[in-house]
C-alpha cells in the first residue's frame, strides 16, 4: 500500500507509470509531472477507470475515501463515471432553477389581471429577490425565509411580510410539484411572525373624506400620485384598476371608461361614466403622459403602470395609513351614496359587484348607465365641496 511519502517523492519518467495502492486505487504519474488518482473497476464484465482528482490537491486519505464511495456505487450496479455526469447535469439544472426564475414562471401561469401580476412582481423585486432571487431553490433554507420576513416586519410592513410569506410558499409549492425542490422551506417558519392585525378600515364620514382629499391634494407629493388618487375617488374604481388605466380605455369626448375583462376582478368588461371633474383631470394628464400607454406610467419603467404602493407611501407620510386603506374608498363611497338614497342596484352596478343572474346583469348594465352617470356627477360635486371645506 502507498504512503504519502511514496506519492510525494514519485518523479516523472519518459513514459506514464502507476503506483498501486489497493482495491483498484492507484496514482498515475505522467511524463509532464501531473500525478492523477484513478480507480479501476469492472461493471457488467467491462473494465473502466474513474478519475478521483490530482495529487497533492487530493491527498492519499481523501483519495481512499473517494474510492470507497465509488466502490459502493459499483456494488449497487451504478457506474461512478455516469453517476458523476448525472450529478453534474443535476447541478446545472439546479443553477438554472433559481427562485426568481420559478417565481416569474409562477406569476405567468396565474389567471390574474395584468395589474395584479405587476403588483405582485413589484413586491417580489423589492422584498424577496434581493435576498434569494439568484439562489437555486434547492439551496434556500428556512433561515433565508425567516430573515426576509423579519426584515420586512422591522420596516413596519406586516401586511407586506404576510403577502411575501404567502407568495414564497406558493412558489416553493410549484417548485416541489415539478420536482425542482424537495421541500417548502416556508412551512417550518409559517408561524414565526405574529398574526397580521391589519383590519379593514371602516367607511369615512363626509368630513373625513374632505379632510383626506384636502390633505392629499396639498401634501406636496408626486403630481401623478395625487391625480391617480383623485381619479379613484371620482370614479370609485378599484385602486389597481386606477393605477393601470390605459389611454386606449378612455373616451373623454363621451365621458366613458371601458375597463377590459382581463383587468376586472370578475373577468367581465366594465364601463364607467366619468364625471366632469375626472374628464378635466384626464385631459390635464394627456400632455404629460399621452405619449405612453398608461395614464399613470411607472416612474422608472414607462412601459409599466405606476405602483399601487405609491398610495400607501403618501398615506403613511400624511399620517392616514392607520385610518384609511385605498380599498376603503369604495366602502366609503357606497356607504355615503346609500345614505343619500340612491338605489342599491345602481351603486352595485357602479362598483362592478357581481350580479349572479346573467340576464339581470346585462339589463342592469344597459339600463343603469344614465342613472350612474348622474349619481357619479353628484358624487364628484360633493367630494369637491367636502375637500374645499378643509382646504387652507
Q: How far apart are CA 174 and CA 152, in angstroms?
A: 24
How far CA 302 is from CA of 134, 161, 186, in Å, comes to 25, 27, 34
Q: Which of 90, 91, 363, 385 is catalytic?
A: 363
Annotated active-site residue 342? The verdict is: no
Annotated active-site residue 72? The verdict is: no
pLDDT at residue 80 tops 70: yes
Residue 165's pLDDT is 94
pLDDT at residue 7 tops 90: yes
Q: Which of 119, 165, 180, 238 is catalytic?
A: 238
Q: Which of 84, 327, 361, 365 is catalytic?
A: 327
Complete DSSP assignment for 215-226:
HHHTS---HHHH
Residue 12's pLDDT is 94
pLDDT at residue 84 tops 80: yes
How far CA 44 is from CA of 41, 71, 75, 156, 367, in Å, comes to 10, 14, 11, 64, 82
Question: What pLDDT digit, counting tens, does each position of 28-79 carry?
Answer: 999 999 999 999 999 888 999 999 999 999 999 999 999 999 999 999 999 9
Closest C-alpha among 173, 133, 184, 127 to residue 150? 127
pLDDT band at 365 (very low <50, low <70, confident <90, very high): low
Q: How far apart are CA 129 and CA 135, in angstroms?
A: 9
Annotated active-site residue 17? The verdict is: no
Instruction: Kindly report the number of other CB atoms within 10 A of residue 364's CB atom.
Output: 17
pLDDT at residue 14 tops 90: yes
114-123 and 99-108 are packed helices; what angle lies between their axes, rounded to 10 degrees?
160
Q: Which of 201, 330, 336, 372 is catalytic?
A: 330
Q: How far apart are CA 57 and CA 198, in angstroms?
A: 58
Torsion of CA 370, 376, 379, 380, to 10 degrees: -130
Q: Which of 190, 246, 265, 365 is catalytic?
A: 265
User: What kind of fold does domain 99-189 have according to CATH?
Assistant: DNA polymerase; domain 1 (1.10.150)
Assigned C-alpha cell, 127: 422584498
pLDDT (mean) for 96-119: 87
Question: What pLDDT digit, counting tens, does each position of 278-302 carry?
Answer: 999 999 999 999 999 999 998 888 8
Annotated active-site residue 6? The verdict is: no
Average pLDDT of the chain is 88
Instruction: Among 3.40.50.1110, 3.20.20.300, 1.10.443.10, 3.40.50.970, name the CATH number for the domain at 206-389.
Output: 1.10.443.10
Annotated active-site residue 361? The verdict is: no
Q: Which of 91, 291, 353, 385 is catalytic?
A: 353
Q: Which sequence spans correspond to the domains of the chain?
A: 4-80, 99-189, 206-389
Instruction: Among 1.20.1050.10, 3.30.160.390, 3.20.20.140, 3.20.20.70, name the CATH number for the domain at 4-80.
Output: 3.30.160.390
pLDDT at residue 359 tops 50: no
pLDDT at residue 196 tops 70: no
Assigned C-alpha cell, 128: 424577496
pLDDT at residue 355 tops 80: no
Amino acid at each position: 500500500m502507498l504512503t504519502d511519502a511514496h506519492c510525494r517523492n514519485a518523479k516523472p519518467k519518459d513514459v506514464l507509470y502507476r503506483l498501486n495502492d489497493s482495491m483498484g486505487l492507484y496514482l498515475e504519474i505522467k511524463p509532464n509531472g501531473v500525478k492523477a488518482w484513478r480507480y479501476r473497476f469492472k461493471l457488467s464484465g467491462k473494465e473502466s477507470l474513474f478519475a478521483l482528482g490530482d495529487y497533492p490537491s487530493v491527498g492519499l486519505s481523501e483519495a481512499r475515501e473517494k474510492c470507497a464511495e465509488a466502490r459502493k456505487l459499483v456494488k449497487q450496479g451504478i457506474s461512478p463515471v455516469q453517476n458523476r455526469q448525472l450529478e453534474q447535469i443535476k447541478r446545472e439544472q439546479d443553477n438554472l432553477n433559481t427562485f426568481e426564475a420559478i417565481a416569474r414562471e409562477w406569476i405567468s401561469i396565474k389567471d390574474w389581471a395584468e395589474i395584479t401580476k405587476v403588483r405582485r412582481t413589484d413586491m417580489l423585486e423589492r422584498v424577496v429577490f434581493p435576498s434569494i432571487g439568484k439562489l437555486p431553490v434547492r439551496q434556500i433554507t428556512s433561515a433565508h425565509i425567516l430573515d426576509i420576513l423579519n426584515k420586512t416586519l422591522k420596516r413596519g410592513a406586516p401586511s407586506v411580510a404576510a403577502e411575501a410569506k404567502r407568495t414564497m410558499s406558493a412558489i416553493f409549492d410549484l417548485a416541489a410539484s415539478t420536482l425542482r425542490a424537495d421541500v417548502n422551506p416556508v412551512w417550518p417558519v409559517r408561524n414565526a411572525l405574529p398574526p397580521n392585525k391589519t383590519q379593514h378600515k371602516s367607511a369615512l364620514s363626509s368630513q373625513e373624506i374632505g379632510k383626506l382629499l384636502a390633505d392629499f391634494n396639498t401634501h406636496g407629493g408626486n403630481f401623478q400620485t395625487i391625480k391617480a388618487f383623485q381619479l379613484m375617488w371620482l370614479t370609485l374604481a378599484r385602486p389597481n384598476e386606477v393605477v393601470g388605466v390605459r389611454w386606449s380605455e378612455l373616451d373623454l369626448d363621451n365621458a366613458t371608461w371601458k375597463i377590459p375583462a382581463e383587468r376586472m376582478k370578475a373577468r367581465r368588461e366594465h364601463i364607467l361614466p366619468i364625471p366632469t371633474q375626472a374628464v378635466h383631470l384626464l385631459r390635464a394628464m394627456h400632455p404629460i403622459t399621452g405619449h405612453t400607454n398608461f395614464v399613470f406610467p411607472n416612474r422608472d419603467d414607462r412601459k409599466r403602470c405606476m405602483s399601487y404602493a405609491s398610495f400607501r407611501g403618501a398615506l403613511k407620510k400624511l399620517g392616514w395609513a392607520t385610518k384609511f386603506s385605498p380599498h376603503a374608498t369604495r366602502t366609503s363611497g357606497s356607504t355615503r351614496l346609500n345614505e343619500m338614497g340612491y338605489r342599491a342596484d345602481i351603486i352595485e352596478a357602479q362598483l362592478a359587484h357581481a350580479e349572479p343572474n346573467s340576464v339581470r346583469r346585462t339589463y342592469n348594465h344597459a339600463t343603469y348607465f344614465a342613472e350612474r352617470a348622474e349619481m357619479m356627477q353628484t358624487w364628484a360635486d360633493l367630494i369637491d365641496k367636502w375637500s374645499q371645506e378643509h382646504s387652507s
